[in-house]
Amino acid sequence: MKNRIHLSLAHMGGHEQKFIKEAFDTNWVVPLGPNVDGFEKSLNQYLATQNSQLSTLNSQPHTVALSSGTAAIHLALVLLGVKTGDEVICQSFTFAATANPITYVGANPVFVDSEDETWNMSPQRLKEAIEDRLQQTGKLPKAIIPVHLYGMPAKMEEILAIAHQYKIPVIEDAAEALGSEYKTQKCGTFGTFGILSFNGNKIITTSGGGALLCKTQEQAARALFYATQARDCAPHYQHSHIGYNYRMSNICAGIGCGQMLTLEEHIARRREIHHLYMELLKDVPGITVKQNPDEKSNSNFWLTCILVEPEKAGKTREDIRMMLESENIESRPLWKPMHLQPVFADAPFYGNGVSDHLFEKGLCLPSGSSLSNEDITRVVEIIKR
C-alpha cells in the first residue's frame, strides 16, 4: 500500500521548538506570557490593512489569542450582548463550530443559504431573511455570521452594506481563511469582530487555538476580561460578570510564533497545489475545480474543492471518494449544511437549494502544504480513471 495522503495536515516550519523551549526555560508555562504577546503582535502586523476603500480600520486589528476559534465566536456573541431568545443569522453552508456558539448564549440560529460564485452567504437571501424575521418576530437579528469557506472570501461588500442598512453587527468567520483577501484586504478584518482558528488542520496551527480580531483596544480589553474569568479589579477574587477560561497558553502561542515565520510559504504552497489541480483537471468531463470568481477574491485555497456532475463524469462524488480511499488517499464531501443537520432541524432557513447541491456534488481534495506535486498527480490519476 502506498503512503497515506491526508486532506490537510499541520506543517511545522522548524522554528516552533525554539519558542517553546524559551517558554520552558523562562518558566512561562501559563495562559499568558511573551509568546502570547508576540503571536498577537505578529498577527496584527500580518492582518494590517493597506489602502482599502472598504476598510473601517485605520491600521491594525487588535487580536486576542484564545483557546479555539469556537471560543472566539462565543466571546464575540457575548461582547455583542446576544442573549436568550435573540436570533442570530448564520451561513448554513459551514462547519458546525460556526453555529454552535449561538446556542451557548441561548440564542436561536437562522440559517441563510449560499450563492454560486463564492459558495458563501448569499446577500440576497440575507436581506430576505432579515426582512422576514422582522415581519415574523417584530425584531431584528442581533448578529450576522458569514464564513469564508475553504478560504474563499464571501461577498463582504454586499453583506456589509446590508448589515449597515439594518445596523446589525457582523461576526466574520475567517477560521479557514487566514491570508485570504477580498479587494486586497485580509479576511477577518471586515466585521465588527473577526475570528481565526489554529486547529491542527487549518492554515497554521497552535495544536489547538483561535483568535478574536477586534476593531478597538477597548473591545480587545473586554474580550480579554471575559476570556480570563471576568475578574473585577480587586486584590481578592471578585466577580460581577460570568467569565470564561478561553485564553491561549504560552506554549501553544510558541507554536504559533514559529508558524507565523513560514505563513507566507504555507499559503503560497496551497495556492500552487490549487493551480496544479486546475491544470491537471481542466479537460476532465464533469469535474470542475472551484476557482476565484473574480479579481476581488483572492482565496488562500485552504482546501481545493471540486464539483462532480455524474452524467458527464460517469461517476458520482461518492464513487470518486471511495476510489481515492481504496488507494489510501483521504478526501471529504463538502460541509453538510446546517439546515440539513438533525440538531438544527427546527431552525428557520432561507434558501433555494444552492448549498444542498454543493453538498451532494462536492468533494475536498488533499491540499496540505506538505504535499508534493507527485502526490497531487497521484490523486488526479485516480479521479481520471
Ligand X SMILES: *Cc1c(COP(=O)(O)O)cnc(C)c1O
The answer to whether residue 147 forms part of the interface with ligand X (CB under 6 A) is yes
The answer to whether residue 187 forms part of the interface with ligand X (CB under 6 A) is no
The answer to whether residue 176 forms part of the interface with ligand X (CB under 6 A) is yes
CB of 73 to ligand X, least distance (A): 7
DSSP code string of 197-222: E--TTSSS-SSS-EEEEESSHHHHHH
Residue 336 to residue 316: CA distance in whole angstroms: 17
The answer to whether residue 180 forms part of the interface with ligand X (CB under 6 A) is no
Residue 143 to residue 165: CA distance in whole angstroms: 13
CB of 339 to ligand X, least distance (A): 16
Select from 68-76, 158-166, 234-242, 273-281 the region that touches ligand X (CB under 6 A): 68-76
Residue 174 to residue 343: CA distance in whole angstroms: 24
Select from 3-11, 54-62, 94-102, 347-355 the region that touches ligand X (CB under 6 A): 94-102
The answer to whether residue 28 forms part of the interface with ligand X (CB under 6 A) is no
The answer to whether residue 206 forms part of the interface with ligand X (CB under 6 A) is no
CB of 381 to ligand X, least distance (A): 29
The answer to whether residue 172 forms part of the interface with ligand X (CB under 6 A) is no
Burial class (CB in 10 A: 0-12, 13-18, 19+), 376: buried
The answer to whether residue 188 forms part of the interface with ligand X (CB under 6 A) is no
Among 197, 219, 299, 331, the residue binding ligand X under the rule CB under 6 A is 197
Residue 176 to residue 256: CA distance in whole angstroms: 16
Among 19, 93, 95, 344, the residue binding ligand X under the rule CB under 6 A is 95
Cell readout for 53 is 476603500
CB proximity list for 164: less than 8 A, separation 6 or greater: none
Of 54, 73, 52, the C-alpha closest to 147 is 73
Residues that bind ligand X (CB under 6 A): 68-70, 94-95, 97-98, 147, 173, 175-176, 197, 199, 210
